[in-house]
Amino acid sequence: MFRRRSTDAADLLDQDQQADGTTDAEQARLARPGWTPPKGAPTPKRSEAQANRRQPYQAPADRKAASQQSKQRGRDERMRRTQALQRGEAWALPRKDQGPVRALARDVVDARRGIGEYYMVMVLVLIVLLVLPGSSTKIIADVVVLALLALILVEGWFVGQKVKRLAAERFPGQSTQGVLLYATMRGISMRRMRVPKPRVNRGDKV
């Protein structure tokens, strides 16, 4: 008796749904706005999904392939570090280039046009003079060498003093030891060959 009434009630509910054009899933969604109909399978947990995405490492079949793979990884890492060093990224800089004072010294040197930039060109000219026969050319070459060294040292001293003064103003408490020699060595290298690459243009105010 009760079973028949339940069946009749279910038949009446199906008839009402067919008349309204709604299904069981739609009725449940209307009753619970935040509910979404099932996809046919339970949603996996995050740990299960991550485990499915992970693929086990496939070791090379032979030593030659493993060696080539290791060499390729090494080349890629060296290239990445070299590019980061040229850009001046802190993590790739060697110890001598690290710190805000050294970065300031690079900017001060790169923002000016110095005599030291033409050091390599002058050295080539001096080599040519030394090769030429005659004592007079050798005397001239010696004088030019001494004058060039004096100019480079004086220029480096002035640039180093400027870096120290700016560092004391902007980075109080930071060590400036060795910054004079650092600025001088960067100043005698050609601009396009400097590492890290200059991040300021000539004439920029540092």
Q: Are residues 118 and 187 in the same domain?
A: yes
> pLDDT of 120-142, one tens digit each?
888 888 888 778 777 777 788 78
Please state the domain count of the chain.
3
Q: Are residues 158 and 72 in the same domain?
A: no
Q: Which two tokens stand for residue 49?
A: 């999904």
Q: Are residues 106 and 186 in the same domain?
A: yes
Tell me, yes or no, whether 53 lies in a domain.
no
Q: Which of 50, 77, 92 is the last residue of a domain?
A: 92
**What's residue 156's pLDDT?**
93
Low-confidence residues of the chain, pLDDT below 50?
1-7, 9-10, 12-13, 15-22, 28, 30-31, 37
Sign of CA dihedral 44, 48, 50, 54: negative
Coil, strand, or helix at residue 122? Answer: helix
> Residue 21: which domain range?
1-32
Tell me, yes or no, whether 184 lies in a domain.
yes
Q: Are residues 187 and 117 in the same domain?
A: yes
Q: Are residues 87 and 103 in the same domain?
A: no
| pTM higher than 0.75 | no
Q: Are residues 103 and 185 in the same domain?
A: yes
Tell me, yes or no, whether 21 lies in a domain.
yes
Secondary structure, 3-state, 72-120: HHHHHHHHHHHHHHHHCCHHHCCHHHCCHHHHHHHHHHHCCCCHHHHHH
